[in-house]
Amino acid sequence: MPEIFGKPLVTQDAMRVRIRELGKQISQDYQGKDLVVIGVLKGAYVFFADLVRVIQLPIQIDFLIATGTKKVGCPPKTVKVWTELTEKIAKRHVLLVEDIVDSGLTAQYLVSQLQNHKPASIEVCTLLDKPAHREVEIQVQYVGFEVSPAYIVGYGLDYEQKYRNLPYLAKMDSEKVEAES
């Protein structure tokens, strides 16, 4: 795998430091509030696990599985949510945790769907933010790293459901991956 990705774009150490900072900020911002943290699977699972462990508050967690349907070479145009929440979020504060906010379509759709449950507030937290690719307006309150328009894998992010297990974030060289397939 290292030949495909080269050196890490974001190292484990850099992620560990930034996630601790995010956890501290979230803990301060939600002090005394009833917080439900919702992870968007599959991509956010590693980031989500590390983040909730550094939030110093009594929280509840939940998950959604969501995918963007798309044609090859095109950004997602529709979002499909495969699961339902198991926690009640009415009148509670919600933190939606994404792996990456790229076009913004998935995050915007999920926020709009969660608003139907009448929470006290909804904020978005993402490991990676690609504002240069934004197609829709979406407020991202907590950002791990802002990245350039490159295809990134590892630490939960995938290419064709592979490479989620890389312990760091790496820019994918699609030509090398295709040659190995």
The pair of structure tokens assigned to 48 is 């989500």
3-state secondary structure of 104: coil
Name the CA radius of gyration of the chain, rounded. 16
* Closest C-alpha among 175, 149, 167 to residue 14: 167
Q: E strands within 42-151?
A: 59-69, 78-81, 93-101, 121-129, 142-146
Do 98 and 64 contact (CB within 8 A), yes or no? no
For tokens 């919600």, the residue is 94
- The residues assigned a catalytic role are 102
* Closest C-alpha among 44, 33, 27, 19 to residue 110: 44
* Closest C-alpha among 112, 152, 136, 31 to residue 144: 152
